[in-house]
Amino acid sequence: MIDDRPVFSALLARGEEAGGAAAGEGSPYAAPVVTASRAVWRVGAGGTTQASEWLAEEVPVALVYNGISHVVMLATPCDLEDFALGFSLTEGVVESADEIRACEVVPTCSGIEVQVELASRAFAGLKHQRRQLAGRTGCGICGAESLERAVRPVAQVAARPTVPLAHVNAALQALDDAQQIRNDTGATHAAGWVDAEGQLRLCREDVGRHNALDKLIGAMQRQGIATAGGFALISSRASYEMVQKAARAGIGALVAVSAPTALAVRVAEAAGVALACWARGDRLTTYTHAEAFAA
């Protein structure tokens, strides 16, 4: 087994030298930098040439609730407070942001821990979930109850916005410009929030598309940005998980630059989420609630 601890220790040291600025302004901790420079060799018909490229960092991030490690994700090490809140909301760990009492990002030699303090009721519910999972036999995910937990029902969103095609077009360009890590490395996804006036209010990036959306939802909660009237724009395909997270956050319209899955479409229809995909320039394809999108 490869021991990556020296690798992550080096990342932490580099972050401390940079004062943590690479992880986002105002970050209260010395975090790893989010990109790394690497020598590469480009091979083509004209021969081999040496160059330098920027690569996106990917770090194990453990979400620890009341001292108990719940899940470890590989993620881009920035906006981790947003990620913890968004993940907690969209995965049903908490029902509202008020159930999170504190959140601290703690770099370790093996990665990063995000230590979250939950209210008593939320932590009791999380422990109940963990006991159910721990009591499984066999492969651990087989059986009707496990499958039902894998594809959870989502509540209806309160309302759907009207999304002019011109707003989507402008937001696509704005999201492209806002992806600083992607523009340096080509390796990250993004999720953006576009308000009722068609302005891109927030953008969050990560090597994982689900992580990027969780970060966006967490940032919206922390900044008090309501979901009414606007839509979420994602740089990836629209999978079931992406629709489920959007619906749970109360987002009434989701626009993706790539394809949806059939399950994602069924869930969006059931939840009342207007889903559009293949957003390209002056066109898109609607899969549910087409009346929400106006030419």
Asked if 54 and 36 count as a contact pair (C-beta separation under 8 A), the reply is yes
pLDDT greater than 90 at residue 140: no
Residues identified as active-site: 139
Distance between CA atoms of residues 39 and 20, nearest Å:
24
Match 């309302």 to its residue by tokens: 159
Mean pLDDT of the chain: 84
pLDDT single digits (tens) 22-36: 444 433 334 457 998
Q: How confident is the model at residue 43 (pLDDT cuts 50, 70, 90)?
A: confident
Fold of 1-150: Ubiquitin-like (UB roll) (3.10.20)
Tokens of 220: 């919206």
pLDDT greater than 70 at residue 183: yes
Distance between CA atoms of residues 224 and 264, nearest Å:
27
- Check residue 282 and give its pLDDT: 84
- Check residue 288 and give its pLDDT: 95
pLDDT single digits (tens) 203-260: 999 999 999 999 999 999 999 999 999 999 999 999 999 999 999 999 999 999 999 9
Structure-model confidence comparison of residues 69 and 145, the more confident one: 69
Among 31-35, 96-100, 165-169, 228-232, where is mean pLDDT lowest?
31-35
Ranges of CATH 3.40.140.10 domains, the chain: 163-294
Ranges of CATH 3.10.20.10 domains, the chain: 1-150
Structure-model confidence comparison of residues 66 and 21, the more confident one: 66
Distance between CA atoms of residues 18 and 95, nearest Å:
36
Q: How confident is the model at residue 152 (pLDDT cuts 50, 70, 90)?
A: confident
Structure-model confidence comparison of residues 143 and 31, the more confident one: 31
CATH 3.40.140.10 correct for 163-294: yes
pLDDT single digits (tens) 253-283: 999 999 999 989 999 999 999 999 999 878 8
Average pLDDT, stretch 58-69? 93
pLDDT greater than 60 at residue 4: no
With residue 69 as reference, give the H or E element that holds it: strand 68-75
What is the length of the chain?
295
Single-letter amino acid, residue 125 = G
Average pLDDT, stretch 54-80? 93
Task: For the chain, state the CA radius of gyration.
Answer: 20
- Check residue 1 and give its pLDDT: 36
Structure-model confidence comparison of residues 7 and 169, the more confident one: 169
Among 141-150, 162-171, 193-202, 234-243, where is mean pLDDT lowest?
141-150
- Check residue 46 and give its pLDDT: 86
Distance between CA atoms of residues 59 and 127, nearest Å:
26
Q: What is the pTM of this model?
A: 0.84
Highest mean pLDDT among 33-37, 41-45, 98-102: 98-102
Kindly give the interhelix angle for 262-271 and 240-248, rounded to the nearest 10 degrees. 20
pLDDT single digits (tens) 78-89: 999 999 999 999
Q: Backbone phi, then psi, for 189, in 5-degree steps?
A: -95, 165
